[in-house]
A and B are shown apart, each in its own frame.
Chain A
C-alpha cells in the first residue's frame, strides 16, 4: 500500500483496514494513480513553492514595519508581485482586459 487509500469519501490509513473493505481492482488502480500523482507531479512543485513563500521573515506591512530587514521587505514584495500577476491575469484585470461588471 502506498500512503493512504481512498474509496469514495472514506480514507483508510493502514493496509489491514483496506483489506477488510475488499476494494475492487479499479479502486486499487485509482489509488495507485493518485499515489503517482502525488510523488511525481505534486512533489515536483509543492515543496519549491512552499519554500519560496516561506523564505525570510513574514512582513505584515511593508510600509509601516520597523522591525523587518530590507531583505525581508524585498522578499515580501516579490511574493506579493507573483500573486498579483496570477490574480490580475486570471480575473481579467490585466492592462488590456475589457470593461465588464460582476454580479455576485
Chain B
C-alpha cells in the first residue's frame, strides 16, 4: 500500500482519477479521449472536448467524485492532483498509459471484470490514507488482525500486497466492512483474508493495483494469481555476481543474465536527524524497470522470527551463516555507536560545549561553525 513520500499520495490519486475516467468512457472510447498525442499536457487535456461537445473538465470533476482519496484535493495549487500532473508531465502520461492499458486488459485479469469495459462508472477508486475509514483502511485492518494471529508473518502490509490503489464495487466495500466486524470476534488468519480478497477478485468486484511510473509503455502483470506464473518468475532468480561499491558503501548482488538490473542492493543509511547512530541497513530489490520491494531490517539471524529482516530470511536457507553474519553486524553496530558518541563529544568541545551535549542541540552549532584545521 501507499508509502509516506510527499508526492506519492498525489500521483497515486492521479492514477486512480484516470482509471475512473477510463471506467466511465469504456474501453472503446478511453483510448481516443485519454490520449497524450492529442493532448500533450494536462492543461491541453482539461481544456479539450470529447464526443463533439462534452467537456473533459466535467469528466475530470465527475470522475473525481468516484475517488476515495483521503487528504487529496483535485485542484487548488500545491498539494493537489492537478498540481502534480502539471508539474511533472511524465505522471500525466503515466496515468493515461496505465488507465488505458488496464481498461483494455482488465478482462484478461479475470473475465468477470469485463463489465467494467462497458460505458458508465462501475466501480469506486480508493487510495489508502490513515484516518480514511474506507475500503483500503478496512483491508489494512483485516491484514493486521490476520497477521497478528499468525505471529506477524509479514513485517508490514506491503509484503502481503503492495497494492497502491484498489478498484471496488459497492458489494466489495460492504463485504469487507462486514468481514472486519466478524474478524475481530474470531481467529481470523491470512488464509481467511486471502479467501475473502481472492473471492472478490474472482467475481470482478475488487482489484488491487501496484503502480510504477510508466510514461512510455505499460505492462500489466498478475501476481499470485497462479502458482505456475509465480514459479516462472522465481525460476529466473539465479545468482550471477556480487560487487562491493567502495564509494557508495553499497553491496550489489546481481541475479539476472548480466551485471545490470535486476539486483539486490544492501546499504547502510548513516543519516540521523539528531546525529544519533542509525543502524538501519536497507536491502532493496530492483527489477529491470522498477523497484520491486525492500527489507528495512537487518534481522537477528533467526528463521522463526516474525517480521523478518535480511538475516532472518537468510536463516531459512543457511542458519549457521545467518547467525554469524548477524553477530558480526551486532559487534560492528556497537562499535559504530561508541565511535559516533565519542565523535559527537569531540565536536561538542570544538564548538565550546560539554561533551555530553545532545545531538539535536549540537547539530545547528556544528552547521554554523567554521572547519577546524585540527579535524583535517
Bound CA–CA A11/B234 (angstroms): 39
Tell me if A90 and B159 are in contact (CB < 8 A).
yes
Is B130's CB within 8 Å of the partner chain A?
Answer: no
Given A33-B340, A45-B266 in contact, is the A27-B371 Cβ separation under 8 Å?
A: yes
Is A97's CB within 8 Å of the partner chain B?
Answer: yes
Interface size on B, residues (CB 8 A): 98
Chain B interface, DSSP helix/strand/loop, else mixed: mixed
Bound CA–CA A53/B84 (angstroms): 43
Bound CA–CA A93/B221 (angstroms): 13
Tell me if A92 and B161 are in contact (CB < 8 A).
yes
Is B290's CB within 8 Å of the partner chain A?
Answer: yes
Is B133's CB within 8 Å of the partner chain A?
Answer: no
For A102, the chain B residues whose CB sits under 8 A away are 209-210, 212, 219-221, 223, 290
Residues of A within 8 A of B (CB): 1, 4, 11, 15, 18-19, 22-29, 32-34, 36-38, 40-46, 48-50, 52-54, 58, 76, 78-94, 96-104
Counting residue pairs across A and B whose Cβ atoms lie within 8 Å, the total is 254
Give the contact stretch, choosing among B33-41, B85-93, B178-186, B317-325. B317-325
Bound CA–CA A33/B277 (angstroms): 9
Bound CA–CA A41/B182 (angstroms): 46
Give the contact stretch, choosing among B20-28, B42-50, B73-81, B190-198. B190-198
Q: List 11 A-B contacts (CB under 8 A).
A: A42-B249, A83-B238, A86-B310, A86-B314, A87-B285, A92-B158, A96-B190, A96-B194, A102-B220, A102-B223, A104-B219
Tell me if A33 and B212 are in contact (CB < 8 A).
no
Tell me if A45 and B343 are in contact (CB < 8 A).
no
For A80, the chain B residues whose CB sits under 8 A away are 237-239, 255
Bound CA–CA A103/B336 (angstroms): 41
For A87, the chain B residues whose CB sits under 8 A away are 234, 237, 255, 264, 285, 292
Selected from A25, A86, A94, the residue in CB contact (under 8 A) with B285 is A86
- In chain B, residues 256-301, which have Cβ atoms closer than 8 Å to a Cβ of chain A? 264, 266, 268, 270, 279, 281, 283, 285, 287, 289-290, 292-295, 298
For A85, the chain B residues whose CB sits under 8 A away are 313-314, 316-317
Tell me if B239 and A76 are in contact (CB < 8 A).
yes
Is B247's CB within 8 Å of the partner chain A?
Answer: yes
Give the contact stretch, choosing among B53-61, B115-123, B169-177, B362-370. B362-370
Digit string of B195-235 for contact with A (CB within 8 Å is 1, else 0)?
00110010000011111101000111111110000100110
Bound CA–CA A98/B295 (angstroms): 18
Is B332's CB within 8 Å of the partner chain A?
Answer: yes
Is B372's CB within 8 Å of the partner chain A?
Answer: yes
Given A34-B249, A96-B194, A99-B224 in contact, is the A48-B328 Cβ separation under 8 Å?
A: yes
**Beyond A25-B366, A89-B295: 8 further Cβ-contacts under 8 Å?**
A24-B367, A28-B372, A33-B343, A48-B328, A87-B237, A87-B264, A102-B290, A104-B214
For A86, the chain B residues whose CB sits under 8 A away are 264, 283, 285, 295, 310, 313-314
Q: How far is the CB of A85 from chain B (nearest CB, A)?
A: 4
For A32, the chain B residues whose CB sits under 8 A away are 343, 375
